[in-house]
Structure 1
Amino acid sequence: MLRNRIFAWHLELQDVHHRLEKALEEARKAIREGNRASALKPELREFCYTFCSALGSHHRSEDAEFFPALLEQMPELKPIVARLTAEHEVLSQLLADFQQALNSPESSPQELFRRINEIKGAMKAHFGFEEGSLNRALRVLDAPESDKQRMFGDV
């Protein structure tokens, strides 16, 4: 994968994260305003299908394409990428648990709200770590050689 393609991921990363956070907040609002879980479930199933698919696709793409290409250019990021990959697995399980709660007739709006808050907390921490850890490295890939040496020494 070319360096400019890796840098394009950098530009897309924050935009995708913000769109996912906004979608999650809309679902939280629907749960907060709902009185009955049964009335919420069709909306939430539709949301979950869209949101869970988007988040899962985003992470699968990072794991399969972006991270290997990034590590090829910057192998020193291996511990960071390992942590991000592990966080993808945690988020995947939280999404599966949320889907299971949606399918359970016993799930209350409070239970769904608790589960979606768990997703929000894990997602926010993950996105913050990912952006904080990778943005500087990704800017380096796009910087002219003279700037790279000034910022990071020999790269």
Structure 2
Amino acid sequence: MTVEELTEYINEHIPVTAHLGAKVTFYDGEKLEIHAPLEPNLNHRNTAFGGSLSALAILSAWALLFIKMKEHKLQAQLVIQKSSFDFTEPIEDDFTASCLAPNEADWNKFLTTLNKRGKARIQLDSSIVTAHNEGGNHSGSYVAILQPQSDESS
């Protein structure tokens, strides 16, 4: 799945992302980045609305997990169970949410649990940055529930 296909998918299936101007701009197997323009995310102080920052940070981790599941040919319902966001500085420019893949041990534990129990949880962290500063950090607990594989041969 390309970054363009992932952007199209999230904008179609999570409509608020299109309103936020979310666009997946980078994925290399270890890091995923989603860019958003400031304009549709402005608050009354002419800085980025905190809800937009939080939403994009949550989305970057969700999208990373989504694409990793596709790479492993696993179909799963993905949901965020718990989320926290620490706002560090106001954002006055277009911004990027980025998420790094979990370390190998955590990822392998997640996959083992998912395959054994049909459900697993993993902690993912992301951050919001601009060319000039960092706006905040997100930590979320994401749950995957395996779904039956569709039979594409019929």
TM-score (norm 2): 0.31
Structure with greater proportional strand content: 2
**Higher relative contact order structure (alpha carbons within 8 Å, sequence separation ≥ 6):** 1
Higher Cα Rg: structure 1 or 2?
1
Structure with greater proportional helix content: 1
TM-score (norm 1): 0.31
